[in-house]
Structure 1
Amino acid sequence: MEIIRSREFTANKAWGAKDIANMNGVTTRLHWTDKPYIWHVNDGEEVFAVLHGVVNMFYKQNGEVNSIILNAGDIFFASVGTEHVAHPQGEARILVIEREGSI
């Protein structure tokens, strides 16, 4: 058992993570960041939940770039093949659930 105070979590670099669980090849990780990630497509599906902060999530749909502002409590689900990139607005803490080894 472990209690994690997500608002207190920091990392020594952007997108640094605390591994919380690996359940049969599906990982749950807490990320801290203050910088954008890179455009990517995950190896499987991804659940991206903003716990603290604001994130501008860019994603491609039908060849067009779209974006949505995600606030604390908002969840972005990237289905298989969804190209996306997260741009935090200041510091953000994000819970990511995805297949082990995914980008």
Structure 2
Amino acid sequence: MSTPLYQLKAEFFKTLGHPVRIRVLELLSERDHAVSEMLPEVGCEATHLSQQLAVLRRAGLVVSRREGAAVYYTLTSPNIAELLGVARGILSGVLAGQAELLADLQAAEPGGKRA
């Protein structure tokens, strides 16, 4: 019996559910990066970055290649960058709605009455 698609999607989104992994994918959406280039951008220890890159490799989202002493990472699909852009758009809409709600709340008089 095969795994249902919704379950595979849930596992995929769990893989994306870490800030370091998201930041790595954002960086790789721009261009290939060496691990040493990513370290200052993600703000974590080298061992932690290595662990997160391993998770992304196992999930098939990135591939690595060695050039001399450096290890470079690449996205496996441009769809990953597109997905991050869609997520940014969704969040922008949500945050804009929250900003409007906050403005409405701040404009209201104490006690819940509107001015």
- Structure with the bigger RCO (C-alpha within 8 Å, sep 6+) is 1
* Structure that is richer in helix per residue: 2
TM-score, length-scaled by structure 2: 0.29
* Structure that is richer in strand per residue: 1
Please identify the structure whose Cα radius of gyration is greater.
Answer: 2
